Structure 1
Amino acid sequence: MLEHTNKQFHTELETTRSMFLQMGGLVESMVLDGMRALADGELDLVDKVREHERQVNQLEVSIDERIGQLIARNQPTAVDLRLLLSISKMLTDMERCGDEAVKVAKVARRLHEADSSYEPVVELRHMADAVAGMIRAALDAFAREDPVAAAQVVRNDKDVDREWKAALRHMITYMIEDPRTISRSIDLVFIARALERIGDHAKNMAERVIYMVLGDDVRHMGVANTERMARGEAPEIKEK
């Protein structure tokens, strides 16, 4: 009977993992579709993003419920408990990535509907590809239980932060040079900020993967120490 219960628990655990990966795949596509709507004016993609948002929200509620039931019914071991708690934390970040992707899509629609000849003054596609890639890499690290790959996602967030600052500088320059671009440029700042936040959420998820696999909390440890700990090395303690 105990073996049957244990087998059922691990089957349900695997289903929960799969549902989270499915949710992540939807969110990644939402980010890329939102950016295509902005860059190419494919406004039918905005409706697709909204539909995916509904699916993501449903998955978040279902997965959360499953996690609560699995913990309550099974008294999971430390390793399994870490997995469940990590998914629970990552759920929040993943859902917020979806929210930011919806913001990108909505602003894209507004910009193109206000001006049929609208072209973005700053190229944000590379930034969108980068953060979508971070979501994908965090999910891959989660699926393979790979802390070193997760640490790379934490490092990649630094590149996204640099792109965000560069985009902001460019848009401020446009606004100064041509005040007529102020309204549209502010909308683009809003989009770039949403992409930067997606990068932050992906980084948070990657840190959770390291905790899930190794039991080490690397939040606020800095990139170099995160990479050391992911390799199983002791962090460097800086003298105050």
Structure 2
Amino acid sequence: MDKKSITQHVSQQYNEELETILTKVMNMGGLVERQLSDALVALVEGDTQRGESVVTSDYLVNAAEVEVDEECTHVIARRQPAAIDLRLVLAVIKTITDLERIGDEAERIGRMALHLLDQDRQYGPMDEIQALGEHIKGMLHGALDAFARMDAEQAVRVAQEDIKADAQYDAIFRQLVSYMQEHPQAVPSVLDILWSARSLERIGDRSRNICEYIVYFVRGKDVRHTSFERMAQEATGDRR
């Protein structure tokens, strides 16, 4: 769907309001992408400066969510949107909620990374965690790109990447649990690594959520809690 077709109304001011909201969502997405990237570097490489940056800048993501949410509330109150306009506003509200929660997970990773000593990282499968993190970064970027273009078919492709992310996380989980059983003294440090991996997996879930909102906006179909096959069918079906 062409972004311009989303914001074509008789009222130029209404067009500008919707354009401003969409721009601010993408700016918020950019903030969250940087949070995730910095958190991953802090976790895997022990970069304390990156970890502190993630922790101290989380307020920017929170502020962005509040700002966009308020603008959506004003549009609903002033314009009383219906049909596709209402779906757009609802999709935006849901998306910024998930973006804020992704920021929270990134902050959590940053905090746990600061607790880890260099020798602690020998307990964890850091190469596998790096691979999971890169995959999750790709999912988030793909979800935001699909949102920017309101591309339902791309949204489905990105959402399906969550299957691989879950498999990667499960493998890391089994490896870390096995290590803790064999090395009880390492449990505190390994748990921080495990919870960080869990936060990465949750970011993948949130990225999938954003993809579901895109399908909802474009096709008017709620594909939450459905199979990937059903999601794909709704994304490529005729609009009703």
* TM-score with structure 1 setting the length: 0.90
Q: Which position in structure 1 is the counterpart of 2:40?
A: 35
Kept in 2, the 8 Å contact 1:86–1:211? The answer is: yes
Amino acid at match of 2:180: M
What residue number does 2:4 align with? none
User: Aligned AA for 1:13?
Assistant: L
1:160–1:196 contact (8 Å) kept in structure 2? yes
Contact 2:37 2:137 in 1 (8 A): yes
Structure 2 distance, partners of 1:51, 1:79, is: 38
Which of 195, 218, 226 is the matching residue for 1:221? Answer: 226
What is the match of residue 80 of structure 2? 75
Q: Contact conserved, 1:34 with 1:104, CA < 8 A, in 2?
A: yes
- Tell me which residue corresponds to 1:237: none
Q: Report deviation, 1:228.
A: 1.6
AA aligned to 1:122 is P
Deviations 1:23-70 (A, max 9, x none): 111111111111101111110112221343111111100000000001
Q: CA deviation at 1:223?
A: 0.8
CA contact (8 A) 2:180 2:187 kept: yes
Alpha carbon RMSD of aligned pairs, Å?
Answer: 1.8
Query: Could you tell me how far 1:177 is from its partner in structure 2?
Result: 2.5
Amino acid at match of 1:119: R
Query: Post-superposition, which runs of at least 4 consecutive aligned residues in structure 1 deviate over 6 A?
Result: none
Alpha-carbon distance in 2 for matches of 1:50, 1:8: 37
Name the amino acid aligned to 1:174: Y
Q: Give the alignment's TM-score, normalised by structure 2.
A: 0.90
Which amino acid in the other structure matches residue 181 of structure 2? Answer: I
What's the secondary structure of 2:237's corresponding residue?
coil
Partner of 1:119: 121
Is the aligned partner of 1:204 residue 2:206?
A: no
| SS of the residue 2:206 aligns to | helix
Question: Counterparts of 2:93 and 2:106 in 1: how far apart (Å)?
Answer: 21
Contact 1:171 1:189 (8 Å CA) reproduced: yes
* Closer, same or farther: CA 222–62 of 1 in aligned 2, 3 Å: same
Aligned to 2:3: none
Structure 1 residue 76 displacement after superposition: 2.2
5+ unaligned residues in a row in structure 2: which ranges?
A: 1-7
- The Cα shift of 1:94 comes to 0.8
Q: How far, CA to CA, are the matches of 1:47 and 1:22 in structure 2?
A: 21
CA contact (8 A) 1:27 1:52 kept: no
CA distance in 2, matches of 1:52, 1:185: 26
